[in-house]
Amino acid sequence: MNTPTYTKNISVPLHISIFFASLLGLIFLWYAIFIAQYSFILSLDTAINNGISTLHSSHILNTIFIGITHSFDPKIFLSWFFLLFFILLWNKKKYEAFFLFFGVGGSQTVKIIIKWITDRERPENPFALYAHESSFPSGHAMTAIFLALSIHFLLISSLSAWKKYIITFFLFLVAGLVAFSRIFVQVHYFSDILAGTFLAIGSFSFTILFFLCIKRYYSHTNWYKKIFL
């Protein structure tokens, strides 16, 4: 059994560029919000939250987006994530399982560090939802977008074209709804979501590059064959 064939078609320069572009985007947002305190970004955050708050008169929308945002709460997310992880291992898709495990674990670690450094106060939410960490960046948005990118990359390469289109649409629709739900329920600002998006994309490209590096230099070793093959 070989490492999945889709790894042979990866453009290393492209993912290096994506990683550094995402990193620069994240650094710019951090500087703009916490150092320079650009009024444009802060005003945009407030204006978007105020605009979305006008939708809270709809009980149906409130119920839908509160449900969506809870679907990626830590306890629920970890439950179905580890279920997916062990299903992949059970089906001998060890490369895919460890790709997701490393990517999610790494991005979550970086997110926690950034939250600890920035300690941004969250907006007041009208639904009394418990949100105990710093607002910047959005962990829900980061996780949903990273998983959409990773599952698309890892698990649909063997499907027919029309199935790829449907699953791709579904994956990014869910990621977009999760990200939007965090603004809708007023536990994040738009810039938090944007930062989470940069972090997700950067983490995805970094994970691809990291696994390619391991494959290039260690694919002949016994430990690589035991873990990934």
Span 131-151, average pLDDT? 89
Listed ranges 40-54, 72-86, 120-134; the one with the highest mean pLDDT: 40-54
- The pLDDT value given to residue 1: 41
| pLDDT number for residue 81 | 87
C-alpha 27/C-alpha 134 separation (Å) is 17
At residue 190, does pLDDT exceed 90? yes
The answer to whether residue 6 scores a pLDDT higher than 60 is no
Q: How far is CA 202 from CA 14, 89, 207, in A?
A: 12, 26, 9
Sequence ranges of the domains in the chain: 5-228
- Most confident of the following: 25-29, 86-90, 151-155: 25-29
- pLDDT above 60: residue 4: no
- Residue 35: per-residue pLDDT: 87
The CA–CA distances, whole Å, from 64 to 52, 111, 180, 181 equal: 14, 26, 12, 9
pLDDT of residue 98: 87
40-65: string of b/e by CB count within 10 Å (b at 16+)? ebeeebeeebeebeeeeeeeeebeeb
Determine the average pLDDT of the residues in 165-170. 90
User: What pTM does this model have?
Assistant: 0.89
Greatest pairwise CA separation for the chain in angstroms: 61
